[in-house]
Amino acid sequence: MAVFVLVHGSWHDGSAWDAVVRHLESKGHKVFAPTVAGHGKGAPRNVTHADCTRSLVEFITGNSLSDIILVGHSFGGTLISKAAEAIPGSIRRLVYQNAFVLRDGLSLLDEIPPEYVALFSQLAKQSGDNTVLPPFPVWREAFINDGDLGLAKAAYARLSPEPFQPFADKLDMKKFYSLEIPRSFLNCTEDIALPPGEWGWHPRMSGRLGLCRLVQMAGSHEVMFTNPQGLAEKILEAGRD
Amino acid sequence: MAVFVLVHGSWHDGSAWDAVVRHLESKGHKVFAPTVAGHGKGAPRNVTHADCTRSLVEFITGNSLSDIILVGHSFGGTLISKAAEAIPGSIRRLVYQNAFVLRDGLSLLDEIPPEYVALFSQLAKQSGDNTVLPPFPVWREAFINDGDLGLAKAAYARLSPEPFQPFADKLDMKKFYSLEIPRSFLNCTEDIALPPGEWGWHPRMSGRLGLCRLVQMAGSHEVMFTNPQGLAEKILEAGRD
Amino acid sequence: MAVFVLVHGSWHDGSAWDAVVRHLESKGHKVFAPTVAGHGKGAPRNVTHADCTRSLVEFITGNSLSDIILVGHSFGGTLISKAAEAIPGSIRRLVYQNAFVLRDGLSLLDEIPPEYVALFSQLAKQSGDNTVLPPFPVWREAFINDGDLGLAKAAYARLSPEPFQPFADKLDMKKFYSLEIPRSFLNCTEDIALPPGEWGWHPRMSGRLGLCRLVQMAGSHEVMFTNPQGLAEKILEAGRD
């Protein structure tokens, strides 16, 4: 049986994986879903990308985890990449679930469409504490498009504002691109959180990973809420040797 | 329960939706599938795009329909867009099923590959009444590729020649692009009526709709014939709030 | 009932189709899966592309087969195209399963990404007999990404080195592009043997076939091993009139 560490994306915390964790555990796996620094209701928001990464690395080393399958969703992709630089020997495989794979020297803001940059920058300015939260219509149509309205609302209530600074931090990815840890990209075919085409997840992000296993499933960006069992099965397919 | 108005595309008439209507009605919805002016066996073909739109708008207002989910298939996408300009207050959501979303000032002929423009122009000239009907091999391979030969032939027998003028009419879409009616794009993943890639339905057409829910299903352009129950289920998913 | 001739790709021999053949035969079809010249364990490797094509054509004519559905997988796509030039009257339909459709005057090496050209060229030089075999990690991640490790290893053990010369031979395809034999493209949606996007199978290869039926299924390049029954069903859908 394997050890999984599931890393959430923006606006989420570790509890977003709850139903996925249950399914993976029911198959006999050991599963962790830490909340990254600056995330979760009530946590202080004044964090950098390095703070986020450090909290993830400390979780893994603090729990003496090794030989892990490290799964990153969305923004979490930037974190598992940097964590892989810090503790490559602890990681059996990296799994990117519709996740960012940044080019060397760039920030997340450099990798999203101009309209999202404008929206997030404006929201951050208006927030008073340099955070952003997507307006409900954007969440409902572009993030959880495969859920019904009730689920869309319930999941939205679980979100919390995202620190803007980690979106803006430019990352040195040189060591990451020299690593030879096996990697998989799990693509949900109805994920339009990034618009399909020029700015899409796949093959734009997946194509940067070199030799990389592709696994696909139906579903939106928030398939952890809309189909957690299906997602767990595909995480197993993406994570196996 | 919701009110659906289903708008057929070229060569079809309202009866193309018969099996879809039955499935939607069996779920308790109110469903209408009018035949657009210039369409249906025996109808006069000398219509413009404005005539087609007017007949749709008059159907909706004549039946005092409101709060409708307006679904357009293929050419029908151009009609629901113009109808939305005319009666925006009557529409709860627009659903484009592998449908045209024209750019401002362009015609349908401006949005299809040159080989189709050449084929349709030639067919219109030869027709004697400025209409076009796709040759059976084109229909069988590129429109109803997921059906068997018997179904392909039976469905072809239900088609009637399409007035060419509405393909050529250039449309003012400025008001449409200012509307904020919620919208969805329903993409059948094996639809090659427009060739995948540069000239494809998705994300070329869907990407013009701004914030827009994506729903996908397996199937060809003629999934209303090859899988009407599956289509009805996806129309519900695309049409819900 | 129909007559199928299934043409394997690189590294494979006719036995790769065994499970697919059984499923097709169980539906009452007549099925042949010849091993192409220069392929199969122990066969001499000093063959050209013309030798490969000739062996296929001689198999078809030697068995007096007519009205066949000729299916080519991967490299096999180049063979069924050239066989179609030689014996067009014997073929009812061509089916390309994630297969190469070469442009006139080009070789397979002209149609794959530079990193694969470099890898295969180096492997051929090192081989001593001008052959190539993909390293296991490439096979496991990019060819049979939907199989488990045990199946990946078992299938790898069945491969044999591929003659490099047929990859390099530039093919005259002028007659092929004048043929009007019906054709289908069967695309497995997780096939990343060619990387998705600019260098991908679909719509790059399928788009060269003119009027061509598209059929899709989930699966990797090696779906003949990971889901032979599903593949047989889709070959029937691609191959029917």
Q: Quick one: average pLDDT of A71-93?
A: 98
- Interval B194-218 mean pLDDT: 98
Confidence label for B100 from pLDDT (cuts 50, 70 and 90): very high
- Percent pLDDT > 70 in chain A is 100
Cα angle for residues B16, B18, B21 (degrees, 5° grid): 125
With an 8 Å Cβ cutoff, are C216 and B190 in contact? yes
Q: C122: buried, middle or exposed (CB in 10 Å: 19+, 13-18, 0-12)? A: exposed
Q: Is-contact C87 C120, C-beta < 8 A?
A: no
A71 beta partners: A6, A95
**pLDDT tens column, C118-144:** 999 999 999 999 999 999 999 999 999
Q: Taking CB atoms and an 8 Å cutoff, what residues of chain C touch B195?
A: 203, 207
* pTM: predicted TM-score of the whole model, two decimal places: 0.97
CA distance A84 to A53: 10
Q: What is the pLDDT of residues C187-229, one digit of tens each?
A: 999 999 999 999 999 999 999 999 999 999 999 999 999 999 9
Whose structure tokens read 């999984």? A4
- Neighbouring chains of A at 3+ CB pairs within 8 Å? B, C
User: Which of C208, C213, C216, C233 to mutate: most B Cβ within 10 Å?
Assistant: C213
Mean pLDDT of C23-41: 98
Give the pLDDT confidence score for residue A234 in this predicted structure: 98
- A218 touching chain B per CB within 8 A: yes
List chain A residues with CB under 8 Å of C218.
Answer: 216
pLDDT band at B103 (very low <50, low <70, confident <90, very high): very high
Q: What is the pLDDT of residue C213?
A: 98
CA dist., res. B94 & res. C229, Å (int): 40
User: φ, ψ for residue C236 (rounded to 5)?
Assistant: -65, -40
| pLDDT at residue number C181 | 98
| Cβ-defined contact of C149 to A213 (cutoff 8 Å) | no
Residue A137 neighbours by CB under 8 Å, 6+ apart: B182, B211
The reported pLDDT for the residue numbered B91 is: 98
Rounded to the nearest integer, the mean pLDDT of chain C is 98
Mutation choice for A interface testing from B209, B214, B217 by most A CBs within 10 A: B214
Q: Which two tokens stand for residue C71?
A: 């299916």
Q: What's the rounded Cα separation, in Å, for the pair C229 and C231?
A: 5
Flag if A240 and C149 touch (Cβ within 8 Å). yes
pLDDT at B159: 98
Nearest to A137 among B184, B211, B237 (CB): B211
Characterise B98 by phi-psi region: left (phi > 0), alpha (psi -120 to 50), beta (else): left
- Residue of chain C nearest B147, judged by CA positions: C237
pLDDT classification of A42: cutoffs 50, 70, 90: very high
Q: What is the ipTM of this complex?
A: 0.96
Indicate yes or no: CB of B190 within 8 angstroms of CB of C240.
no
Instruction: Indicate the helix (H) or strand (E) that contains A226.
Output: helix A223-226
Residue C126's pLDDT is what? 97
Out of A55, A74, A184, A206, pick the active-site residue: A74
User: What pLDDT, on the 0 to 100 scale, is given for residue A150?
Assistant: 98
Contact call for residues B65 and B90 (beta carbons, < 8 A): yes
Report the Cα–Cα distance between both ends of chain B, in Å, rounded: 12
pLDDT band at A37 (very low <50, low <70, confident <90, very high): very high
Q: Looking at chain C, which subunits does it touch, using at least 3 CB pairs closer than 8 Å as the criterion? A: A, B
Alpha-carbon span B45 to C42, nearest angstrom: 68
Q: Quick one: C43 exposed, middle or buried, by C-beta within 10 A (0-12, 13-18, 19+)?
A: middle
Instruction: Give the whole-number percent of chain C exceeding pLDDT 90.
Output: 100
Q: Known catalytic residues of C? A: 74
- Quickly count: other Cβ atoms within 10 Å of residue A233's Cβ: 16
Of the pLDDT bands very low, low, confident and very high (cuts 50, 70, 90), residue A123 is very high
**C-alpha distances out from residue B240 to A221, B1, B211, Å:** 18, 10, 15
